[in-house]
Each structure stands twice: as structure tokens, then as C-alpha cells.
Amino acid sequence: MSKERLKDAVRNIPDFPTPGIQFKDLTTLLKQPDLLRELSDILYETYRDKGITKVVGIESRGFIMGPILATRIGAGFVPIRKPGKLPADTIQISYDKEYGKDTIQIHRDAISPEDIVLIHDDLLATGGTMRAAYDLVKTFSPRDIYVSFIVELAGLDGRKVFEPGTKIDSILQM
Ligand code: AMP
């Protein structure tokens, strides 16, 4: 199957949630069994041999393919959540958004220095969210960190917020 079929299945919603945003809706891809399987297979083939022990998913759309991938590569799953959602002791990071600030949290006992971590989210736009998640995971000093997206909005050049050499992969560039 070609990536064009996956790309074609992503629905573009103009001006959602605010004017000027071209929202990439993946639900039109995910609801198709053969395309969901293909997406899962691509992620599996990309990460199967990296020794990854924890997949970290960013709330909330990182919670869709994150656990599917974790199951297939034999890793655990760890959620990064918005404030006030995780019940035990957390560490957090705040970051600048286009308007105002945002904060994300992770359980303090979620990752150990022996882990090899993959952080997954559905989409790379400006990169602010993933950069914050990356910095949060880095505080655990894991053996290695990989970064994975389904869609990369190439025009926004979100990769520029990461240091050169960061292991970033996206499946579909739009
Ligand atoms: P950013 O921090 O700018 O890279 O934004 C990434 C986060 O916002 C991801 O969790 C995406 O789910 C969401 N997001 C940002 N822009 C879009 C878009 N155009 N379409 C769909 N989701 C988006």
C-alpha cells in the first residue's frame, strides 16, 4: 500500500478550531481497518529493532497509536497529561504557545534511566508540545529518546525547535 492512500484519507478541516488553522483530522484514516493496520505496520517496522522499552504518548491524540505500537514492540505505555489528571506524584513543564502558556505532566516514577523511550504524538506543527515533552522525558536521563509523529506539517518547520541529531520521524509530510 502506498503512503498516498494514507495521506488521501486525512481530512482537512479549514478554520478549525480557530480561523486560519488547517486542521488535519486523522479519524477518517483511523476508521478504515486496512489503513489503521498499515499505519500500525509502518510504526512497527520503523521502531521494532530500536530496543524501545517505553512508549510515551502525549494527551490526547498520542493515546491512539501509542499503545498500539507499544503492544507490538513489547514496550510499556506512559501517558503525558494535562495538569490535574495524573493521580500520583508528577513532574511538569510549562511551555509557550501561540497564545499564552500550557503545562504537561508525567508521573515521577514513569521512566527509569535504563529505559529507551519513544515519544509519540499524532502531529508536528510548531513543535512546542513535543519539545516540552522531550525536555520532560530528558529529566529521567533515559538511555535514548526517539520522537515519532504520524503527520508533519512541513511548512511550519517544527523540527527546528529540536537540537540537530534528535531522532525524529514522521510518516506523512503534508
Ligand atoms: P505544536 O505544539 O504546534 O507542534 O502542536 C502539536 C499539537 O497540536 C499536537 O498534539 C496536534 O494534535 C495539535 N495540532 C496542532 N496543529 C494541528 C493541525 N493543523 N491539525 C491537527 N492537529 C494539530
Q: How many CB atoms lie within 10 A of CB 34?
A: 9
Pocket test for ligand 1, best of 18, 21, 129, 162 (most atoms within 8 A of CB): 129
Can you tell me which atom of ligand 1 is nearest the CA of 158?
A: 4
Backbone angles phi, psi at 118, to 5 degrees: -115, 125
Quick one: cell of 92?
Answer: 511538569
* Strand 144-152 versus strand 167-173 pairing type: parallel
Tell me the C-alpha distance between 39 and 48, whole Å: 14
Model confidence over 41-70: pLDDT tens digits? 999 999 999 999 999 999 999 999 999 999
Quick one: cell of 157?
Answer: 518547520
Q: What is the pTM of this model?
A: 0.97
Tell me, what's the pLDDT at 97? Answer: 81
Splitting the chain (174 residues) into consecutive groups of 10 residues, what average pLDDT does each group show? Answer: 94 95 97 98 98 98 98 98 98 88 97 98 97 98 98 96 98 98
Tell me, what's the pLDDT at 80? Answer: 98
Tell me, what's the pLDDT at 1? Answer: 76
Tell me, what's the pLDDT at 56? Answer: 99
Tell me the C-alpha distance between 36 and 130, whole Å: 23
Residues involved in catalysis: 61, 98
User: Dmax of the chain from CA atoms?
Assistant: 44
The residue whose CA is least distant from atom 19 of ligand 1 is: 23
**How far out from the chain centre does Cα 46 lie?**
14
